[in-house]
């Protein structure tokens, strides 16, 4: 693909001048329309060293109102990024509705050897790199983001010329690094890498635009035209077609194993045994927490379950003996307007643990297929595609080395009523019960259907669901502690 | 102070048990009251290496609901922090209303030699360290934060014993670093440093609580009691006294030089000259921007001025030839509820530039003494103390090496009316004029008074105000470009 391409397309000075100005005017006008339409636009620049990414971005944003775009320069990867799955830093920076974000060096960088070294990646990650990247891009596009991917292509002699020119000017000499010359010397090997990347990640939904960039005028025009065309096409697409395909929108209402109906919620533990086991497992938790820190393995724990099932008290016992500098408990409520401006996974992914740390989510991304489904807060095709999105996200974390456990705290309907009433009658606990709890209770059956489907679709070996019988809170606490410490023990082997 | 203190206070096992539980229960109850009262609580742990900060924090948070506190472990300083003024990372993490944040190693760390090395601080920063720290703490406290500072003190032999014990256990040996032993060997020199720190930053408003920590039971009790007492005292203080002294609340309404009244807003530049100068200064801007990047100097530019004075277009010309990867333009609107939950400077400080980058604020923290004053959105004692807060914040940035420039874009009242009417009559520009603009226009005189006082109180050699005559937009653009490039030229010398 690249090999057959003539990087040296040229264009005359006058044609350039005549064509550029109207394109820039169109782009400036489009920026206003993008804001008005609430369209998130993500423009990715990749390409050879010295292919002119910086200059091209400069020309591109020149006509834009500088208050309403972002340019992300990811030249140096921050240590915050290096301590998390490699897509994390990009997820955190996706544009909100109406925003234009330009990225200079994106997640595709990982195909370069000098980048891989920095990240110290698991083989699992590199082996599945293209799958994770394509899932990420598809998720953004399905959510309505316009993703425009540009690859700037220059020839070997042109690249050498540019490196030399940079080196000869004392004010720019520092920009040429040893790995730049290595790229030029091993041009053919890199060409193969780039071609593979273009092929593997150039999907129908998110194709690459290769820009011949030996001539700066030619590439400048082509970049500008590509972007203007893409934005115009999206803004002018008929409403129905504007959104990307919605995934498994038309899936049959299948029937799933009735897991919850079969659970005996009233498992029991004696008080004396409870005290002994609590002490045993909390000590174990402390020791393993410490070891996970030393081994730099992150842990993600999700709590879901019926209202009043005892999540708060359960979490408290789980972390009681953990070093408080190593864990965070994240309570999840309804999304804020700020959070609604982006893909629904954004607010969870931002909170993922650093290597060696625990994050415990008190409710989670599963709200998408539980409350949002049951209360029709989200259209069916959208929550349906969340099963894939969730699986892909957890898979990505797992490949990075995360231990993932998901608990469903289960009580039966009678027990819930008893607890609701106890809360109503205790002034110190009245704040813990709200109208929403009673509404959820009325939807019990619908939640049971949604939960069973969730189990069927998102229970994975690397991110299992564990139903915790919680009529007896003490039993439930021990079961969670035992499950978590067993999983850590296994992970530490 | 420390030298005369016996670190080896002990307490019997039984007394400990009897006293701890009731204290922990009180603390758990207080957490609910802190949330209900919307009180931000910041608890700082400092002290000798191996003084038991981690363990103490663990015991402290044990009775708390883990969903509603944060523990910040600042052991390793992130590269994001190293690229900004040293208080920046702590500013970004201040607790919001009702939140309890515990910091293990705070801004006081900078007194330690091994920390100073990492930061590569300007002498200006180290020389004024205590002033900046005390200003930061005072600002938080005046804003309503309860700040509790604990210093854990152990004796030299006890510290040595603990390092040895850690080293002997293979699972903890990694925690003892060479600088730890250096601290123990040079115990007396460190003692002097710590004493100086305690003396210089132990203010009446924000005193230190020194905890004798050779005996873990004694220190555990004392820490818990100190915190419980401090929170209770604050929650039970009469409303008027709860808040910290408000600063210059009762200052006389002095009269300030009438700067704006003397400005001739209608300076003019010929078209041909404009084009020539624009080209000259933009090229200069590009070159200097590049040099600032290489020298890792950050630049902060503030735009304030009358509505319709042409800020947007002016900013656009200023950045037109800057590398877009080196600057960010931050438009400032009314604060969101999320932002209102913290000190008003928080949302600006978060956006301060990295070293080598430009941040341009389109409106700024000066809104506190402009719109918030004129429209009585903020009580007078609160906006009055903002002059000091602003000066201290800009001073802190300047010491770090930032170039700071503040522009007031000035048009006269007739010119504004002309522009408002032109906007009303142009469908493409109607969105740029709102009712708020007309309200502001009615308050013209009040703004003029506020602006003159702002100039008088916040015009500083390291952060000057420049009034830009803007009836002629082209003149205004050249004046800003010239002022900025001259300042950069000076800074680069």
pLDDT tens readout for residues A37-63? 999 999 999 999 999 998 899 889 989
* C-alpha separations of B148 from B33, B41, B224 in Å: 17, 8, 12
Contact A70 B328 (CB under 8 A): yes
Token pair of A234 as six digits: 């999206």
Lowest mean pLDDT among A219-233, A372-386, A423-437: A423-437
Cα distance between residue A324 and residue B64, in whole Å: 11
- In SS3 terms, A442-471 reads as HCHHHHHHHHHHHHHHHCECCECEEEEECC
> Out of B102, B320, B330, whose CB is closest to A62?
B320
Q: Is the pLDDT of residue B44 over 50?
A: yes
A327 Cα to chain B: minimum distance (Å) = 8
Token pair of B53 as six digits: 């900060």
B105 Cα to chain A: minimum distance (Å) = 11
Cα distance between residue A420 and residue A440, in whole Å: 12
pLDDT digits (tens, 9 = 90+) for A387-406: 999 999 999 999 999 999 99
* Model confidence pTM above 0.90: no
Sign of CA dihedral A113, A118, A123, A128: negative
> Out of A65, A324, A336, whose CB is closest to B316?
A65
Sign of CA dihedral A96, A100, A103, A107: positive
Residues 29-58 in A contacting B (C-alpha not used; CB under 8 Å): 54, 57-58
A140 Cα to chain B: minimum distance (Å) = 23
Cα distance between residue A269 and residue B490, in whole Å: 75
Unique residue bearing structure tokens 């970049």? A223
Cα distance between residue A269 and residue A256, in whole Å: 31
Unique residue bearing structure tokens 């906006």? B383
pLDDT on residue A223: 96
Per-residue pLDDT, averaged over B126-138, amounts to 93
Q: Which of A465, A469, A471, A470 is nearest to A487 (CA)?
A: A465
pLDDT digits (tens, 9 = 90+) for A204-249: 999 999 999 999 999 999 999 999 999 999 999 876 544 545 545 4
Cα distance between residue A473 and residue A491, in whole Å: 27
Contact in structure between B265 and B412 (CB atoms under 8 Å): yes
Q: Is the pLDDT of residue A409 over 90?
A: yes
- SS3 state of residue B385: helix
Cα distance between residue A365 and residue A383, in whole Å: 11
Cα distance between residue A29 and residue B104, in whole Å: 50
State whether residue B316 sits within 8 Å of chain A by CB: yes
Question: What residues in B contact A287, CB-CB < 8 Å?
Answer: 171
Cα distance between residue A385 and residue A345, in whole Å: 12
Q: CA angle, corner B199, sides to B198 and B203, nearest 5? A: 95
A50 Cα to chain B: minimum distance (Å) = 15
DSSP state of B238: -
Contact in structure between B109 and B383 (CB atoms under 8 Å): no
State whether residue B338 sits within 8 Å of chain A by CB: yes
Contact in structure between B316 and A65 (CB atoms under 8 Å): yes
Extended strands (E) in A327-384: 327-331, 358-362
Sign of CA dihedral B213, B214, B215, B216: positive
Contact in structure between A470 and A439 (CB atoms under 8 Å): no
pLDDT digits (tens, 9 = 90+) for A163-215: 999 999 988 898 899 999 999 999 999 999 999 999 999 999 999 999 999 99
Token pair of A428 as six digits: 């110190």
State whether residue A102 sits within 8 Å of chain B by CB: yes
What is the secondary structure of B107-155 as a DSSP string? Answer: GGGGGSHHHHHHHT--HHHHHTHHHHHHHHHHHHHHTT-EEEEEEEE--
B191, containing H or E segment: helix B187-201
Cα distance between residue B64 and residue B85, in whole Å: 33
């Amino acid at each position: 693909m690249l090999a057959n391409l003539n990087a040296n397309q040229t264009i005359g000075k006058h044609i350039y001048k005549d064509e550029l100005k109207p394109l820039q005017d169109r782009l400036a006008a489009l920026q206003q329309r993008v804001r008005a339409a609430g369209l998130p636009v993500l423009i990715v620049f990749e390409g050879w060293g010295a292919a002119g990414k910086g200059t091209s971005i400069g020309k591109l944003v020149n006509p834009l109102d500088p208050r309403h775009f972002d340019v992300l320069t990811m030249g140096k990867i921050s240590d915050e990024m290096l301590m998390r799955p490699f897509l994390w830093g990009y997820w955190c920076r996706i544009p909100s509705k109406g925003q234009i974000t330009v990225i200079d060096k994106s997640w595709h960088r990982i195909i370069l050897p000098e980048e891989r070294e920095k990240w110290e990646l698991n083989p699992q990650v590199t082996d599945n790199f293209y799958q994770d990247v394509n899932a990420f891009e598809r998720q953004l596009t399905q959510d309505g983001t316009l993703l425009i991917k540009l690859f700037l292509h220059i020839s070997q002699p042109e690249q050498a010329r540019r490196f030399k020119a940079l080196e000869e000017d004392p004010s720019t000499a520092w920009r040429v690094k040893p790995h730049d010359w290595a790229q030029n010397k091993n041009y053919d090997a890199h060409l193969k890498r780039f071609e593979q990347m273009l092929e593997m990640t150039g999907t129908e939904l998110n194709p690459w635009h290769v820009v011949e960039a030996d001539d700066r005028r030619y590439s400048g025009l082509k970049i500008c035209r590509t972007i203007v065309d893409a934005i115009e096409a999206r803004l002018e697409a008929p409403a129905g077609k504007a959104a990307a395909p919605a995934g498994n929108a038309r899936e049959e209402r299948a029937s799933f194993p009735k897991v919850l109906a079969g659970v005996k919620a009233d498992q029991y533990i004696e008080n004396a045994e409870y005290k002994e086991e609590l002490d045993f497992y909390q000590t174990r938790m402390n020791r393993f927490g410490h070891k996970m820190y030393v081994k730099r393995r992150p842990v993600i724990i999700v709590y879901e379950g019926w209202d009043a099932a005892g999540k708060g008290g359960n979490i408290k016992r789980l972390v009681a003996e953990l070093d408080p500098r190593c864990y965070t408990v994240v309570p999840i409520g309804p999304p804020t307007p700020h959070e609604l401006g982006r893909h629904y996974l954004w607010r969870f992914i931002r909170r993922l643990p650093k290597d060696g740390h625990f994050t415990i989510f008190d409710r989670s991304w599963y709200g998408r297929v539980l409350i949002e489904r049951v209360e029709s807060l989200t259209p069916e095709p959208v929550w349906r595609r969340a099963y894939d999105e969730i699986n892909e996200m957890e898979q990505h974390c797992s490949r990075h080395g995360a231990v993932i456990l998901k608990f469903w705290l289960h009580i039966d309907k009678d027990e819930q009523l008893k607890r609701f009433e106890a809360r109503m009658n205790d002034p110190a606990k009245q704040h813990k019960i709200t109208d929403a709890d009673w509404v959820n209770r009325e939807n019990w059956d619908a939640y049971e259907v949604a939960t069973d489907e969730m189990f069927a679709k998102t229970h994975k070996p690397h991110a299992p669901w564990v139903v915790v019988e919680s009529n007896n809170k003490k039993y439930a606490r021990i079961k969670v502690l035992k499950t978590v410490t067993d999983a850590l023990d296994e992970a530490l082997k």
